[in-house]
Each structure stands twice: as C-alpha cells, then as structure tokens.
C-alpha cells in the first residue's frame, strides 16, 4: 500500500513490489533532460529480485544484496553500425538489494531508486561518477 505525501510515494505495510520500483525508475527517466532521454528509447528497463549467480561471479561479487543495479550493453561511444543483431542494451534494477539498502540507510525509496537508475544510465553514456552526479542533480531539479 502506498500513500502520497508532498508528491512522493511513502510505503506502509508490505515491501514495494517490482512494479512500484519500476514505476519510480521510469519516472526518473522521464525527468531526464531531452538530450539524454532521446538516447534511451531502445533500452530495456527491468526489475528483478536478485542478480543471478553468473552475473555476480562475472562482477566478482559474493552476495546478491551487493548489487542494486546493472547496465548490460556497450556505452554509446563504443557502438558502431557493425553491431547489428546485438541484443538490446538493458538496465536492470535488483529489487531486494534496493530494499535492503533502503532499510539500512533510511534514504527515501524514490531517491534511492532514482540514484541507482541514473547510475546505470550513466554507464550507457560512458559517464564518469562526477558526470553521473551532475545528471542525477539535473533529473532531481526537473522533478515536479
């Protein structure tokens, strides 16, 4: 169950499901400046419970709660016309890891999901961490 307060979702009772996390992520994407948003239309955006064992092993992680999101693909600057037939780029948010961080940190859920979403979008653009922080601030400034 969610209640609305000051335009932001506050959750009571059961933990937010994948649809709630996805809605926050998609709302974040919708607030991005147009020069970024126009390059995201072909990205698959999904929410899964945990990263699978293969993904964790590839990243050198031991526990699924250590990964809250992942960009699968090649950054825009590395793509070429020879990439035809490649799988679409994907951004995956991992619900259980996000909820664990939400509980541990006390950060608002919508802020946390926005942060993870923008971080993964940053990887799509090949951005540095500083660039990602600036993008996150611009998306937050555009919030209603």
Torsion of CA 68, 48, 29, 104, to 10 degrees: -30
Average pLDDT over residues 109-133: 85
Q: Would you state the pLDDT for residue 55?
A: 94
pLDDT tens per residue, range 15-40 = 899 999 999 999 998 888 888 877 88
Q: Would you state the pLDDT for residue 8?
A: 47
CATH number at residue 32: 3.30.2010.20
In the DSSP assignment, the letter for residue 86 is P
Q: Would you state the pLDDT for residue 135?
A: 67
Of the pLDDT bands very low, low, confident and very high (cuts 50, 70, 90), residue 11 is low
- Greater confidence (83 vs 71) lies with 71
Number of domains the chain contains:
1
- For residue 3, being part of any structural domain is answered with no
- For residue 114, being part of any structural domain is answered with yes
pLDDT at 107 over 50: yes
Q: Would you state the pLDDT for residue 82?
A: 58
Give the integer Cα–Cα distance in Å for 46 and 94: 9
Q: 90 lies in which domain range? A: 26-73+83-141
In the DSSP assignment, the letter for residue 77 is G
pLDDT tens per residue, range 55-82 = 999 999 999 999 999 998 876 666 555 5
Average pLDDT, the chain: 81
- For residue 7, being part of any structural domain is answered with no
- For residue 91, being part of any structural domain is answered with yes
Q: Would you state the pLDDT for residue 143?
A: 43
Q: Would you state the pLDDT for residue 83?
A: 58
The residue ranges of DSSP E strands in 6-143, in sequence order, are 8-11, 44-48, 69-72, 90-94
- For residue 131, being part of any structural domain is answered with yes
pLDDT at 3 over 80: no
Of the pLDDT bands very low, low, confident and very high (cuts 50, 70, 90), residue 140 is low
- For residue 9, being part of any structural domain is answered with no
- For residue 4, being part of any structural domain is answered with no
Q: Which secondary-structure segment (H or E) carries 2?
A: strand 2-5
């Amino acid at each position: 169950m969610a209640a609305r307060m000051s335009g932001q979702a506050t959750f009571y009772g059961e933990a937010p499901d994948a649809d709630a996390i996805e809605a926050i992520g998609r709302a974040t994407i919708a607030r991005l400046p147009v020069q970024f948003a126009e390059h995201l239309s072909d990205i698959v955006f999904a929410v899964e419970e945990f990263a699978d064992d293969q993904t964790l092993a590839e990243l050198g992680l031991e526990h699924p709660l250590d990964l809250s999101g992942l960009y699968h693909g090649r950054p825009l600057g590395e793509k070429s016309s020879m990439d035809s037939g490649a799988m679409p780029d994907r951004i995956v948010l991992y619900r259980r890891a996000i909820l664990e961080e939400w509980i541990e940190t006390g950060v608002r859920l919508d802020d946390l999901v926005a942060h993870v979403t923008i971080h993964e979008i940053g990887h799509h653009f090949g951005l540095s961490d500083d660039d990602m922080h600036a993008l996150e601030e611009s998306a937050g400034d555009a919030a209603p």
